[in-house]
């Protein structure tokens, strides 16, 4: 699927476990992230009751470049924010390394974030595999023909078939040539049945 506009909502899902609670007995932390369509911010808030922090940092790799932000002059803690430019066509998964050094001991971990674009997509399913297209087309046609037949008999089945071919062509599950051939076959069947004097 392809976004249809430059403005869209993005949700970042965190994958994997994150350390909870305190470390080094008196050091507490919380991680976070935010996104505003042009940059991503990864944050680490840390607090040391006994002011034992030597440094704390956030780092990640984006488009082959390592980005890192370190605070080494705030022993009681604070907020460190790593801001990187972002383009969804380049990369959508980030392994972010968080590190806290306290009283000469280091504690670090990695959290994985995935950017998921959503809300405004055009209705183009042309990137589906051929097998998937066939399954979707057959299921859609069977469903709409069955509904049409249940509602209005044979003519309803034909209308359901036309509607199915139209929808499958509209969403690029069937290409235009296949859609036109399908519509021609359904219309021909309607005319043949009506010409033979059958009740439709």
Instruction: Look at residues 66, 89, 118 and tell me which one is the last residue of a structural domain.
Output: 118
Q: How far is residue 200's CA from residue 197's CA, in Å, rounded to a whole number?
A: 9
Q: Are residues 106 and 34 in the same domain?
A: yes
Kindly list the averaged pLDDT for each block of 10 residues, start to end, along the chain of length 200.
54 49 76 84 89 92 92 91 87 90 89 73 62 78 82 80 79 71 70 58
Q: Are residues 187 and 113 in the same domain?
A: no
In a domain, 125, yes or no: no
What is the model's pLDDT at position 20? 46
What is the model's pLDDT at position 1? 47
In a domain, 123, yes or no: no
Domain count, the chain: 2
Q: Are residues 45 and 96 in the same domain?
A: yes
Report the 3 state secondary structure along 67-109: EEEEECCCCCEEEEEEEEECCCCCCCEEEEEEEEEECCEEEEE
Domain that holds residue 24: 9-118
What is the model's pLDDT at position 17? 43
Return the CATH number at 36: 2.60.40.1940
């Amino acid at each position: 699927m392809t976004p249809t506009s430059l403005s869209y909502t993005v949700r970042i899902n965190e994958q994997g476990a994150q350390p909870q609670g305190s470390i080094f007995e008196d050091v507490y932390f919380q991680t976070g992230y935010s996104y505003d369509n042009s940059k991503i911010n990864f944050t680490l808030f840390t607090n040391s009751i006994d002011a034992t922090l030597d440094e704390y940092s956030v780092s990640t790799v984006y488009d082959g470049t390592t980005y890192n932000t370190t605070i080494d002059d705030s022993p009681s803690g604070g907020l460190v924010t790593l801001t990187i430019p972002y383009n969804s066509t380049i990369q959508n998964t980030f392994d972010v390394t968080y590190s806290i050094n306290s009283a000469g001991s280091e504690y670090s971990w990695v959290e994985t974030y995935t950017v998921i674009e959503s809300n405004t997509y055009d209705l183009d399913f042309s990137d589906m595999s051929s097998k998937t297209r066939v399954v979707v087309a057959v299921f859609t046609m069977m469903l709409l023909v069955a509904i049409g037949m249940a509602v209005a008999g044979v003519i309803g089945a034909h209308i359901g078939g036309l509607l199915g071919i139209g929808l499958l062509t509209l969403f690029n599950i069937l290409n235009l040539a296949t859609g036109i051939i399908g519509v021609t076959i359904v219309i021909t069947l309607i005319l043949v049945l009506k010409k033979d004097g059958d009740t439709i």
